[in-house]
Chains A and B, each alone.
Chain A
Amino acid sequence: MTTLSVVTGSPAVRRALLLAPAMLVIGVFFVGGFAQAIAQSLGHQPLLGGGRWSLDAYRVAADDPAVRSSIALTLRIGILSTVLATTLGVGFALVVRRLGAGRAWLTRLFQGTLAVPHLVGALCIALLLSPSGMTSRTAHAVGLVDDAQQFPALTQDGFGWGIIAEYVWKETPFIAVIALAAMSVNLQRLEDVSRTLGAAPWQRLRHVTLPMLSAPVGAAALLVLAFTMGSYEVPVLLGRPFPAPLSVVTYQTFNDTDLTSRPEAMAIAVLLATLTTMIAAGYLVVTQLARRRHA
């Protein structure tokens, strides 16, 4: 077996040694960092020496209009982006799967977009959808608008359309790649069987194809949901400073020159982490229940 198995006899010790580096990263950086954020939100002030334990930071955050307007926006962006990207991604995969030579070509294109950093994606969406962007110029060319002011606000808008557009553009190919990988030869065989048994095309889609996709696409959608709720650079470029998603509000508050707003920043960070975890857990419960009912 591995090097370590010779050095130590006990399997438990060997396992612990093999896991140690990864657990060190997760235990010290992740758990330690998050515990420190919670401690600071409760009044612990390591840089100012000591501090007093209290829930004041949470009270301040609860009364802060920036935070209050932020929660609905964060949820809206996360849920809408995930639903749109998942639906479109599965739809794309169903179309691309039936293509001949085009299938490999489009799969490559999807994989290529996966490598585009979100920051660049946000810049692209800004140049495409802003009042003087490419879409506005095209609308002008065909006579839909007379000038840039007439073009509807799709970036730096209150609803978050620009942010959602970026996430959908970046995450749809991701879902499509996962769905295409799940549509293996195995699935083709199952579909052939259901066809010989007399299933109509939509019955095959509903009872054979989509159930086969649900586990991998469901996991991918969860990643998208968690990412779109916590990401910073996309809303900072494409959204407004107010109302802004919780990630942006967290950083704004943290960056406040007044050091006394640090506990509030930590409280908002903890709120963001709790909200994301709760939504992810809720998603898992709902999908588990749905799967059990099907089975």
Chain B
Amino acid sequence: MRRLAAIAIAAAVITPLVPLVLWSVAGSWPYPDLLPTDGTTRGLAIVASSESWHALLSSTLIATSVAVLACAIGLPAGRVIGLHRFRGRRMVQFLLVTPVIVPGLAVTLGLQVFFIRWGLSESALGVVLVQLILTVPYAATILGAAFDHFDVDLERQAQVLGAGPWRTTALVTIPVLAPALAATALLTFLISWSEYILTLLIGGGQVQTLPLLLLSAIGSSDTTAAAALGLLVVIPPVLLVAVAARVLRLRGGMLMGVART
């Protein structure tokens, strides 16, 4: 009985991906056939085209930059939230949670004017900066929770032994927090990788990431092309999570933010 339920759950999770995989290699697949009548490598050619590679490169660079910046900004903020008790701490925490609730679309529509004025629109830098709105709250919250369990005496010991502040941070603080930092980097990378509407609004169509390329392929009603690109968008993050889950032993709390992706 339990086994049966487990198989049903696995089937429910996997089933929607089956037509995606079949369509990516389908040369022709008329209704009502259950399987494609012949295969094609056209999908593969679309994935290997220079346009796709360019989008893959853009997505990778933008998502990596967002992950690194979100960690760099979230680490000092997380330290204050996790280790310091002060007046206004709740206010800081509240400010850090609101961007998770208020839709990014509403904020970015207003922000666009500033980005045009500052020369940041239609640039990859502008896209990276706007995606910080979505990622910094998660980074600060996860790293804040990690600092909650952080033993400050470890840093004091390093300093007593003669390490300067930079060496203490590099050789004690960051190694101790490495699992939380890695989880934060993974999460913020995934949020950035999946982002569509903020990239469109600030990038103005000039910054072609994979989701933008995919949505225009879906609009062109070439299902084989759309499915092949869909696989190109989905395989890298799934592999990344599979590897990370093995290496990091991801805990549930660290995955909270993936809901946004």
Contacts and interface: CB of A to CB of B under 8 A. Distances in A.
A1 B73 contact: no
Interface stretch (A31-39, A57-65, A204-212): A31-39
Contacts, number: 295
A174 B259 contact: yes
B137 to A, nearest CB: 7
A272 B103 contact: yes
Interface string B230-261: 10011001101110010000111101111111
Interface in B116-155: 116, 129-130, 132-133, 136-137, 140, 152, 155
Interface residues of chain A: helix, strand, loop or mixed (majority): helix
A71 interface: no
Task: Classify chain B's interface size.
Answer: 35 or more
Contacts of B99: 26, 30
B238 A18 contact: no
Contacts of A114: 190, 241, 255, 258, 261
B20 A233 contact: no
Contact of B96 (A22, A37, A124, A247): A22
Contacts of A230: 102-106
Nearest to B159: A1
B214 interface: yes
Interface stretch (A94-102, A191-199, A285-293): A94-102
Given A29-B129, A116-B238, A178-B255, A277 B102 contact: yes
B227 interface: yes
A205 to B, nearest CB: 16
B178 interface: no
A70 interface: no
A254 interface: yes
Interface in B7-64: 9-10, 12-20, 23, 31-34
Given A119-B196, A232-B105, A1 B256 contact: no
Nearest to B130: A29
B258 A174 contact: yes
Contacts of A84: none
Contacts of A47: 113, 116
Contact of B107 (A33, A117, A147, A178): A33
A186 interface: no
Contacts of B166: 3
Contact of B169 (A2, A12, A37): A2
B18 to A, nearest CB: 7
Contact of A5 (B18, B165, B241, B253): B165
Given A114-B261, A272-B106, A123 B255 contact: no
B253 A181 contact: yes
Interface string B88-117: 000010011011111111111111011010
Given A92-B9, A269-B105, A270-B106, A115 B111 contact: no
A64 B152 CA distance: 58
Contact of A119 (B101, B211, B250): B211
20 contacts: A2-B155, A2-B173, A18-B80, A30-B102, A32-B110, A34-B107, A36-B113, A99-B2, A106-B6, A115-B237, A124-B19, A128-B15, A174-B259, A181-B251, A181-B255, A226-B101, A230-B106, A237-B215, A247-B105, A277-B101
Interface of B: 2-3, 5-6, 9-10, 12-20, 23, 31-34, 72-74, 76-77, 79-80, 84, 86, 92, 95-96, 98-111, 113-114, 116, 129-130, 132-133, 136-137, 140, 152, 155-156, 165-166, 168-169, 173, 190, 193-194, 196-197, 211, 214-215, 218, 223, 226-227, 230, 233-234, 237-238, 240-242, 245, 250-253, 255-261
Interface of A: 1-6, 11-12, 15, 17-19, 21-23, 25-27, 29-30, 32-40, 46-47, 92, 95-96, 98-99, 102, 106, 108-121, 123-128, 132-134, 136-138, 140-141, 147-148, 169, 171, 173-174, 177-182, 216, 219-220, 222-224, 226-227, 229-233, 237, 247, 250-251, 254, 265-266, 269-270, 272-273, 276-277, 280
